[in-house]
Amino acid sequence: MSSPHELRLMVHKSPLPFDVSGHSSVSLCHADLSQPGTLPLACAGIACIVHFAGVLFAPRPEKFLPLTNVGFVKNLVEAAKTAGVRRFILVSFPQVEGETSPDRPATGRLDATSSVIHFRTRREAEQHLFETCRDAAITPVVFRSGMVYGNGIKMIEGARWMLRHRLMAVWRGPTWTHLIALPDFLAALQAAIERDNVAGIYQVCDDAPLTLQDFLDRLATCCNCPRPWRLPAWMFHLAGACCEAAALLFQIPAPLNRDIVKAGMTSCVADNSRMKHDLLPVLSYPNFEEGKELLSL
């Protein structure tokens, strides 16, 4: 691996899905975002932090998300300040602004809110980052990223598996979603790390939002699979509640919970003009029709 950067990857319990031992510019550091005392070593000598860690598949999100989405960020920002980190990039979601659409896209507001706990707590983390960095030497950057697609992305691989086994279903009512191809996301992220004039909120999305239903139908075509079942919305809310109850009863992970279902049903369209001006003027994959080739490599 040839890179102008040295990467330090923070890991907690789960091992990385790839081997970094042969890459001299990559190192590992074990730390726990819930334990502030473990973070100084992870931050020492670091110029820029990219944070997107969290917990998703667990019951009772109203209990754990304030800790994982807000508390983790507070702990890491405090350690970054002490260590003299110069830039902190928080990966977030356009849905923190609530429901958006092609005629009312997300624009980078901080005063909007959402009824979805996952998005609401992420916005609280954004606010904390900006407030804390106001009088510090850290430049705060928020990446409100659309759904990243490409080979190896867990959500995409999970959807493929479900499509192949005829287990994929989606609600009937249209839900807008905004995508970003993995190479474009990484290119935008590299620009945010390297360029001096980058600060604030960026909507990191491609040029062509589409409905979630249309995306899944196109993904099925790419996989040579039947299209997903169309079911009433109430069935997904019921499935989320049942999965959450079973996870609480048997103390196991919850592949769904009520908040994940609400998050999935939140329409998302974002104005990416600031991203294109500051980070990525030309997208390699401006829409899914051009980007779907990534899924067959």
Residue ranges per domain, the chain?
31-225+257-296
When computed from its CA atoms, the radius of gyration of the chain, rounded to whole angstroms, is 19
Domain 31-225+257-296 sits in which CATH superfamily?
A: NAD(P)-binding Rossmann-like Domain (3.40.50.720)
Task: Using alpha carbons, select from 267, 259, 274, 265 the residue that is nearest to residue 232.
Answer: 265
| pLDDT tens, N- to C-terminus, the chain (297 residues) | 456 789 999 998 888 878 888 788 899 999 999 999 999 999 999 999 999 998 878 899 999 999 999 999 999 999 999 999 999 999 999 999 999 999 999 999 999 889 999 999 999 999 999 999 998 899 999 999 999 999 889 899 999 999 999 999 999 999 999 999 999 999 999 999 999 999 999 999 999 999 999 999 999 999 999 999 999 999 999 999 999 999 999 999 888 899 999 999 999 999 999 999 999 999 999 999 999 999 875
Q: What is the pTM of this model?
A: 0.94
Find all residues with CB under 8 Å of 225, minimum gap 6, and list them.
Answer: 160, 163, 164, 166
Measure CA 35 to chain center: 23
Find all residues with CB under 8 Å of 188, minimum gap 6, and list them.
Answer: 143, 180, 202, 204, 275, 279, 280
Helices 117-133 and 72-83 cross at an angle (nearest 10°) of 20
φ/ψ of residue 9, rounded to 5: -100, 125
Contact in structure between 54 and 32 (CB atoms under 8 Å): no
Residue keyed to tokens 């904390």 = 128
Q: What is the DSSP letter of 275?
A: H
174 vs 13, 34, 213, 214, 238, CA distance in Å? 38, 38, 7, 9, 19
110 vs 29, 122, 130, 198, 213, CA distance in Å? 33, 11, 10, 18, 29
Q: How is residue 262 written in tokens? A: 């609400």
Number of residues in the chain:
297
Task: Give the containing element (helix H, strand E) for 103.
Answer: none
